[in-house]
Amino acid sequence: MRKHSLSHSAYVLLGATCVLVFGGLLAVYSASSVADYVKYGDSAYHLKKQAQYALLGVGALWALSHWKFGRRRGVSTPRVEAVAWLVWGVSVVGLIAVEVSGVGKWGATRSIDLGIAYVQPSEYAKLGALLVTAALMVGWQRGEYELGAFLGRLGVALGVPVLLIMMQPDMGTTMSLVIACGIVIVLGGVKWRWLFLTAGVALPSIGLAILLAGYRMERLMAFIDPWADPTGGGYQFIQSLYAFGSGGPFGVGLGLSRQKFFYLPAAHNDFIFAVIGEETGLVGALGVVVAFIVFAYAGIRIALECKDPFGRLLAGGLTGMIVTQAIMNMAAVTGLMPITGIPLPLVSAGGSSLTLTLAAIGLILAVSRHGARGNVRLVRPEESRESDRASATQWRRNGGAHLPRANGRSTSGGRRA
């Protein structure tokens, strides 16, 4: 493979991304055109905004796809952990700004009005937390942190954004952040007993958060039986199911949705999958599912092909974050889980979600471009043979670690949580 070129998996990932973005633009226009004409006198209002955000996101994708995150022949780029904490810090400042002067909508305060656009810092907080988690996991495996320091940094990296996002309140984004970082931790080789212990603490906390918030209990009851309150808590569920039921196998036709005529709330945003199901039927809905399956396959392949420890965790975590969010959205829209308020990545209207997701895909492409070669270090042949024997002996002694070294072999000297 040519130096700095993308792998076959990267092109597959780009293909799935293009299908979802262009399909999303079409779906946004169809779902929002009627309401936009009534409210703004311009049926393409949201389409124009979404296209602008898509162009901005493509620029971020291209720029980040060239990020050299490792060490090349003794020349060190800026420390990955420093970059990760910088992204994390900026996003946390944004979350604090939301609490001070945020813009509220549908009972939650999640955005900042910049005059030219609304920005949702919680979307970028997911990326910041994931970057820091990946950097910390690599540092832990290399023995750079004692257990107390590692857990303290990880607690700050996850606890601060989770607390601020829950104050908005936004439980859906919180779950997405925690799941994404959890994937990174699992890929980093943390022992399962620690994960089960964490889950044992987290699940009761989630239950308590639901019980203490009336609107969350309402959503849970609406999920269990939406027909118990068809004009209140169950209204959005029911209208979404009407949309899918009307679509049938092949849909009612592009642009011919009836639910978008002020029946289905957030038709161009959180519930855009329902409009896709109504207009293109089962075939169109399955097409979206297949596109995300292809995306997941390509992202996983990029992670597995990467020989750099941080790159592998980054690609795996970002792929998991995007696909998990897609699963949560489609499950909520089809009535398989309570409504979470999470948009469908690359498809739903929303500038913060679209630009963040495209930026994340750029980072996955950077892993494909620079991570497959690993960290290069020139060694003498006899040193290489001795190193191979020592690594193999230590690997067998440790039982093997999940996290690969930069040269593609398993970590021999790192710690395991």
Is residue 33, in this structure, part of any structural domain at all?
yes
Segment 117-145 shows an average pLDDT of 90
Highest averaged pLDDT of the listed ranges 24-28, 240-244, 331-335, 379-383: 24-28
As a whole number of angstroms, the distance between CA 75 and CA 370 comes to: 14
Residue 306 lies in a domain: yes
Whether 252 is in a domain gets the answer yes
What is the Cα–Cα distance from 57 to 61, expressed in whole angstroms?
6
pLDDT exceeds 80 at position 398 = no
The answer to whether 308 and 408 are in contact (CB under 8 A) is: no
Is there a domain that residue 410 lies in?
A: no
Q: Is the backbone peptide bond immediately before 169 cis, with ω within 30 degrees of 0?
A: yes
On whether residue 392 sits in a domain, the answer given is: no
CA nearest neighbour of 397 among 379, 413, 417: 413
Domain count, the chain: 1
Whole-angstrom CA distances from 150 to 48, 53, 147 are 45, 37, 5
Confidence of residue 106 (pLDDT cuts 50, 70, 90): low
Q: Which of the four pLDDT bands, split at 50, 70 and 90, describes residue 337?
A: confident
Regarding predicted confidence, which is higher, 268 or 370? 268
Residue 414: inside a domain, yes or no? no
- In the chain, what percentage of residues exceed pLDDT 90? 47
Tell me which residue range forms the domain holding 50: 8-376
**pTM across the whole model:** 0.84
pLDDT at res. 369: 87
- Residues 9-26 have a mean pLDDT of 96
402 located within any domain: no
pLDDT for 111: 84
- Span 32-44, pLDDT tens digits: 999 999 999 999 9
pLDDT digits (tens, 9 = 90+) for 245-295: 988 999 999 889 999 888 888 889 999 999 999 999 999 999 999 999 999
393 in a domain, yes or no?
no
**Is the pLDDT confidence value at 310 over 50?**
yes
Return the percentage of the chain with pLDDT > 70, whole number.
83
E-assigned strand segments in 74-170? 75-76, 103-105, 108-113, 118-119
* Pairing of β 75-76 and β 71-72: antiparallel
- What's the pLDDT score for residue 214? 63
Q: How many Cα atoms within 13 Å fall on the side-chain side of residue 287?
A: 17
Taking all residues of the chain, what is their mean pLDDT, rounded to a whole number? 83
